[in-house]
Amino acid sequence: MREKKKAGSAALRVSESYLETVSRRFRRHRLAMVSLVVLAVLVGAALLAPVIAPYDPDAIVGTFGGAPCREFWLGTDQIGRDVLSRLLYAMRISLLVGVLATLISTAIGVVLGLVAGYFGGIADMVIMRFTDMVMSFPYILLVLVAASIFRPGLWNIILILGFVDWPGIARLVRGNVLSLRETNFVKGNLIAGMPVRHILFSEILPNTVAPILVYATSVLALSMLDEAALSFLGLGVQPPTSSLGNMLNGAQSLTVLTKQPWLWLPPGLLIVVLVMAINFVGDALRDALDPNSR
């Protein structure tokens, strides 16, 4: 009986499409499903911030440093702004920084990795040695140096994080291209005289999208953490714009830390929840997209 069932599901597996297989494997990861729901709610709340925020995030609406009450669910900050409204807008900014920085670094990494892996020779050597050099500098230190040279601010932070975090992706893509270059379908394209552009972007790239996607989720998590750290140190997003990191900046003062936990606990916990959810989704994607697992 059991054997029969197994055979039946095997037959089913043959008929299901690649995407169906991936989503079936993904749904097995319970924590990732929960994370997906959490992410959807939080991203929704961030996108809808102008609609659902009870107050203007930059307007002074209450008492200085008021504790949470019915009127202000998460209290008010040192100059009387509503913490909940600021938190919603901060999430918007932090997600924006994370997503854009990830897009930039992924684009740079993919292009450099493709070129290095496909053309080999001197191009490969120069790109990979340059990657080694950038990787040798401790990541946070490089970001801090860049943040101290360029004026801190939202767009500079996005660019800095985007331009510093590509070496990992470049190495990953290069490795994949090296092995794909030896496959028959790529060799076939070469013999057929297809243009290099077509081979790179229509043949090789689609076959290495899965690992890039998985890696990009971890870059997203990392860049959100880095934005938070930079803003916390005062080198990132500058007030009055709120980001999850610079909302924690106030906690460096002892009165805020000891007497007003509603000012720093919510943004901190929100970062943890967001980053953890992204990491879980990335982990489930890794398992789901892995061709070796079933």
Cα(241)–Cα(267) distance, integer angstroms? 14
Tokens of 285: 């994607």
The binder of other proteins chosen from 148, 179, 183, 202 (CB under 8 A): 148
Looking only at residues 153 through 182 of this chain, which bind other proteins when binding is defined by CB under 8 A?
A: none
Does residue 130 interact with other proteins by CB under 8 A? yes
Q: Which residues contact 64 (CB under 8 A, 6 or more apart)?
A: 76, 78, 79, 80
Looking only at residues 40 through 69 of this chain, which bind other proteins when binding is defined by CB under 8 A?
A: none
Cα(118)–Cα(147) distance, integer angstroms? 34
Cα(46)–Cα(244) distance, integer angstroms? 12
Place of tokens 């079936």: 24
Tokens of 78: 């040192």
- Spell 238-276 as b/e; 16+ CB within 10 A means b: beebbbbbbbbbbbeeeebeeebebbbebbbebbeebbe
Does residue 271 interact with other proteins by CB under 8 A? yes
Q: For the chain, how are helix, strand and coil distributed in percent, rounded to 5?
A: 75, 0, 20
Q: How far is the CB of 235 from other proteins (least distance, A)?
A: 7
The binder of other proteins chosen from 9, 17, 136, 293 (CB under 8 A): 136
Q: How far is the CB of 222 from other proteins (least distance, A)?
A: 9
Closer residue to other proteins in complex, CB, 62/168: 168
Q: How far is the CB of 260 from other proteins (least distance, A)?
A: 11
Does residue 268 interact with other proteins by CB under 8 A? yes
Stretch that binds other proteins, among 19-27, 53-61, 194-202, 244-252 (CB under 8 A): 244-252
Nearest to 290 by CA among 81, 22, 9, 108: 22
What is the per-residue binding string for other proteins in 201-240, x denoting contact by CB under 8 A? --------------------x---x--xx--xxxx-----
232 neighbors 193 (Cβ within 8 angstroms)? no
Does residue 293 interact with other proteins by CB under 8 A? no
Q: Give the number of other Cβ atoms within 10 Å of residue 79's Cβ.
A: 10
Stretch that binds other proteins, among 1-9, 19-27, 197-205, 265-273 (CB under 8 A): 265-273
Does residue 32 interact with other proteins by CB under 8 A? no
Q: Can you give the binding site for other proteins, defined by CB under 8 A?
A: 31, 129-130, 132-142, 144-145, 147-149, 221, 225, 228-229, 232-235, 245, 248, 251-252, 257-258, 261, 264, 268, 271-272, 275-276, 279-280, 283
